[in-house]
Amino acid sequence: MKFIVRLHAEITIKSRSVRQRHLKVLTGNLRTLMKPLDRSVRVNSRWDRIDIYHAADASVTAKIIQFLQQTPGIAYFEQVSEHPLTEFEQLLEWILASQTQRLSNKTFAVRVKRKGNHEFSSIDMARYIGGGIRARVPGTEVALKNPQEEVVLHVIDDTVSMVELRFAGLGGFPLPTQETVLSLMSGGFDSAVASYQMIRRGARTHFCFFNLGADAHEAAVREIAYFIWEKYSRTHAVKFITVDFSEVVERILEHADQGSMGVMLKRAMMRAAGQVAQLVKAHALVTGEAVGQVASQTLSNLRIIDQATDALILRPLIVSDKQDIVNEARKIGVEHLSAVVPEYCGVISQQPSVRVNPDLILETEQAVLPDSLINEVVAKSNAVDIREVRVNPVAGPTIYQDSIPENAVIIDVRTDDEEELAPLQLEKHKVLHIPFFRIARKQDTLDKNTTYLMYCQQGVMSRLQAIYLKEQGFVHTGVYEQTNSNKD
């Protein structure tokens, strides 16, 4: 089995040395991802592509496709079958053996791309193969423009590759060909999408969370950050940094002007984040802010916020509509996660100003939030390797595997389709199937004195739902993780 991986177009137009560096980094990333899959997997770098070979195994093939679709720097990739370059008639027989059913009663076109020295042209081969298909496959007609099907052949030296399937990649640049950044994570749609976009552009992205006073919120944000890292940048370890901002919030609520509370909080975050960025050697801060989305995100207020730090602040979503952000969150797989993150706003102003007076900020900020306080909360910040987030969860739900409370009820929060494919059945415990998007509506039917353990395939949504129920007053909640030893 073979895959041909094509570089993102922006890489191919760079200078020779830069292109070689990007190609080398992408090849290394793919080898890191593929190595644990199977001994047969080989990743070979070429100037214009990367070839991946492995022994025919459906599970390995599926995993390779998944990794390639989630790796920055890839424009697209093709699953191909190969045949030695022989006479055209032999190649035609080879193609017909697998493509006759697909092409029957359809318009088609044959596309040939060559590399190497050959006695024939690409058009010569395309005409012969196309004529043979038209003559031997019932109901076919050649249509060079907008055909229903295409037969794509790559002729490289003495080998012919026929494309069986083509998949879109993420585009962007390989990690970490761009400089390191620090993303300010709230767990919502905006910060999650902004983090993804920086990863996609090849920037190693650390995560920074300002805890405004809700431990359950921190546990949920850790899950979101871990999901983004594991799916799109697992080849490179990053940090998850938590900064306790509870005292900052308290001082703002007690002493700040009502109209400037939000801006003062954002400035405090930037002051602290600038220091954290230096600790992790990040070259810029990343936020999910968009112009006009809330009062603190007008151009006037963003300018005041920017002046709080010398650090470069990047806002990938600055002109994005909210629905477009939500759509992107759905596309990258975090919509359902961010949608159920427990909401916690430490500073709620009744009359936020869309144009805060900068003189008022300068007059009061040091009195309310002196540099010594910001330095202190940064010094007490907690930084963990993102890979340890699951090993040492903070304020998260209890995980149950082999030892499950006797009277516990398992709630399977997977979607209907997921549950139907692999039903969860336990001999000694009751299993309820309530998809995650119905939990809020169904919570009134649940007994708050019962122990409920959430279950899902990956363990992310189950954790978030356990956190949500705990916030709703369900004291006895946790997560059930199925292992090989506890399967019935």
* 288 labelled binding-site residue: yes
Residue 208 annotated as catalytic: no
CA–CA distance, 466 with 342 (Å, rounded to integer):
11
CA–CA distance, 417 with 423 (Å, rounded to integer):
10
* 373 labelled binding-site residue: no
Tell the residue number behind the tokens 């990343």, with chain if given.
286
| Cβ–Cβ under 8 Å, residues 434 and 452 | no
Nearest to 411, CA basis, from 439, 445, 447, 390: 439
* 266 labelled binding-site residue: yes
* 116 labelled binding-site residue: no
Number of CB atoms found within 10 A of residue 140's CB: 21
On the 0-12 / 13-18 / 19+ scale of CB atoms within 10 A, 327 is middle
CA atoms within 13 A on the CB side of 71: 30
* φ, ψ at 231 (rounded to 5°): -80, -40
- State the catalytic residue, choosing from 456, 461, 464, 467: 456
* 275 labelled binding-site residue: no
- The tokens of 404 are what? 């499950």
Find residue 5's DSSP bridge partners: 50, 77
> Three-state DSSP class for 278?
helix
Nearest to 223, CA basis, from 412, 389, 411, 400: 389
> Three-state DSSP class for 169?
strand
> Three-state DSSP class for 82?
strand
Where in the sequence numbering do the catalytic residues fall?
456
Residues within the annotated binding site? Answer: 184-185, 266, 288, 297
User: Which residues are part of a known binding site for ATP?
Assistant: 184-185, 266, 288, 297
